[in-house]
Homo-oligomer: A and B are copies of this chain.
Amino acid sequence: MKAVGVIVEYNPFHNGHLYHLQQAREQTQADVVIAVMSGNFLQRGEPAIVDKWARAAMALAGGADLVVELPVLFSVQPADYFAKGGISLLQGLKCEAICFGTESGTAEDYELFAKRWHANNKHLQQVFQEEKNDGSTYAAQMSHVIEKITADLTIDVHSPNTILGLAYAKENARYLEPMQLVPIQRRGAQYHDHTIASGSFASATAIRKALRNKKSELSELEEVLPLSSIRELEQHVEVDWQSFWPLLKYQILVQSPEQLREIYQMTEGIEYRLKQKVLNADSFSAFVSEVKTKRFSWVRLQRLCVYILLQLKENEVKKALSEPPIAHLLGFNKRGQAYLSEKKKSFSVPLLTRIHQKNNELWYSDIKAGRIYALANEKIREQDYGRVPIQK
């Protein structure tokens, strides 16, 4: 059986994602679509709107055959580490192709970019280092570096999905047998769109905004969300950063600057600014607005806040990032099950199907993340221990 992989967040799963999965299957003629999905905390440093099980169910209903979790230490990361984790899992699960949404660029563009990157690696790192010292954000630095080697390609390096695509290409090219790259042009909405335009495509950002604004009228979202997503959203409590604000504020107040400095990515003395600004902030967004600087963008701060909330220490994260991630199975359908039967033995990644006393150390940070996520609302169940994959 041939598998194509996608790296996703589904926050929530919408018609754009449905189209993406259909195209992945169609364009690669794969038998199985494997989704590697962020768990309860996402790439941009946000808690997921509904838990990973609800989002895995949406994914299965929307066409994924196998849903595997991207561990939190890889999911709440800039593009590079996020891609490293995702590609490593897809490679480990023996996918032959990776399909990703993008605003620009052909497969050839992405391949060329990856080749140039690796050919010029040392030179690029030097350029990157120079950029680093000029005080701009990581994303801006990365864009500048990438621009230098993509000037002749049809790639717009300023859109978030393209940046992720480039990171996938770069990471994929490290492997002896790289997967086929299948970029899909995104339809309708752009990543950052804040309103739901007419038509059947809207960005997840716009959908979340609509959900928050008119919680009672989920039905109005029927145009842009599959029915299965609406059903899952109806059944689950919606979570956002504000749910964790009292806990974050408490943690920043109770820890000394020295203790905060042990947290992953707590650099440049930002701990003092956090402790100073948290005192009078009355909401999460007011807090981030107050702390924000040129060097510390909103997204960078959101990620830092996840690291604080989950108490992820520098040494713990660095160690985890130096090893390949483990695959935690969230769900599958019959095709996914057949694929598992056929290929499981050839997988080069450990596959956790159930977290229990004997394997929980392998999943330590994620069990912790799940339990903290569940504090947002008492209706949220234990996320890992004793849970079994969804069978559709």
Contacts from A to B (Cβ < 8 Å) = 246-247, 249-251, 253-255, 259, 279, 282, 309-311, 368, 371-372, 375, 378, 382
Contact = CB atoms under 8 A, between A and B. Distances in A.
Contact of A375 (B249, B309, B310, B371): B249
12 contacts: A246-B246, A246-B247, A249-B375, A250-B375, A251-B251, A251-B254, A253-B375, A254-B309, A254-B311, A254-B368, A255-B311, A279-B371
Contacts of A375: 246, 249-250, 253
B378 A253 contact: no
A29 to B, nearest CB: 46
A354 B299 CA distance: 39
A304 B58 CA distance: 44
Nearest to A312: B254
A152 to B, nearest CB: 49
Nearest to A367: B253
Nearest to A248: B250
B372 A254 contact: yes
Nearest to A368: B254
Chain A interface mostly: helix
Contacts of A246: 246-247, 375
A311 B371 CA distance: 20
A254 B378 contact: no
B282 A378 contact: yes
Nearest to A385: B279
A331 to B, nearest CB: 24
Contact of A253 (B250, B254, B259, B368): B368
A363 to B, nearest CB: 14
Contacts of A310: 254
A250 B253 CA distance: 14
Given A253-B372, A255-B311, A282-B378, 15 more contacts: A246-B247, A246-B375, A247-B247, A247-B250, A250-B250, A250-B251, A250-B372, A250-B375, A251-B251, A251-B254, A253-B371, A254-B310, A254-B311, A254-B372, A279-B371
Nearest to A244: B250
Nearest to A374: B253
Nearest to A275: B371
A70 B261 CA distance: 30
A253 B310 CA distance: 10
A372 B247 CA distance: 11
A310 B256 CA distance: 11
A44 to B, nearest CB: 21
Contacts of A247: 246-247, 250
Contacts of A251: 250-251, 254
A249 B246 CA distance: 12
Contacts of A259: 311
Contacts of A372: 250, 253-254
Contacts of A249: 375
Contacts of A254: 251, 309-311, 368, 372
